[in-house]
């Protein structure tokens, strides 16, 4: 088994932990963090393919990851702001209770 296989298996593990967390937890913050874990797993794949690819172009995988990290940061900020807005409205951040889109 090559290092590339190992890296991909590790990122699979991280992705599935994030998926399980995002599906199982009822706290909105933990669901968002599960999604962040899945994004991190995707970034690990980019770096793994850049490092162990057959003919890596200098810096290509790293550029991908840098942009992905920037977009993930924006997503986390907006997500947490939405959570705080929902909390102010409902005094509660359980997903089961956020069933209406009423203003």
Partner 1 sequence: MIPALFLIALLMLGSAAAAMLLRNLIHSALLLIVSWAGVAAFYLWAGAEFVAFAQILVYVGAISMVVLFAVLLTRQNQIIDTVIEPASRARAATAFTVAACVAAVFSAAILSTKFHPAAPEAPTASVKEIGLTLMNEHGGALLIVGLILTVALLGATILAATDRDEDQSQPSDAALPPKETP
* Interactions with partner 1, residue window 15-74 (CB under 8 A): 15-27, 29-30, 33-34, 36-37, 40, 43-44, 47-48, 50-56, 58-59, 61-63, 65-67, 69-74
Shortest approach of partner 1 to residue 95 CB, angstroms?
A: 10
Shortest approach of partner 1 to residue 62 CB, angstroms?
A: 5
Tell the burial category of 72 from Cβ atoms under 10 Å away from its Cβ (0-12, 13-18, 19+): middle
- Euclidean distance between CA atoms 65 and 79, whole angstroms: 20
Angle between helices 28-52 and 60-90 (to 10 degrees): 180
- Euclidean distance between CA atoms 32 and 92, whole angstroms: 16
Could you say which of 35, 42, 77, 101 contacts partner 1 (CB under 8 A)? Answer: 77
Shortest approach of partner 1 to residue 64 CB, angstroms?
A: 9
Q: How big is the site for partner 1, counted in residues (CB under 8 A)? A: 78
């Amino acid at each position: 088994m090559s290092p590339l296989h190992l890296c991909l298996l590790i990122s699979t593990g991280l992705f599935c932990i994030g998926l399980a967390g995002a599906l199982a937890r009822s706290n909105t913050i933990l669901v968002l963090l599960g999604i962040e874990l899945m994004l991190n797993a995707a970034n690990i794949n980019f770096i793994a393919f850049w490092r162990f690819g057959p003919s890596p172009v200098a810096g290509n995988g790293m550029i991908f990851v840098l942009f992905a990290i920037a977009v993930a940061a924006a997503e986390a900020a907006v997500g947490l702001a939405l959570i705080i807005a929902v909390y102010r409205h409902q005094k509660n951040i359980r997903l089961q209770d956020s069933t209406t889109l009423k203003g």
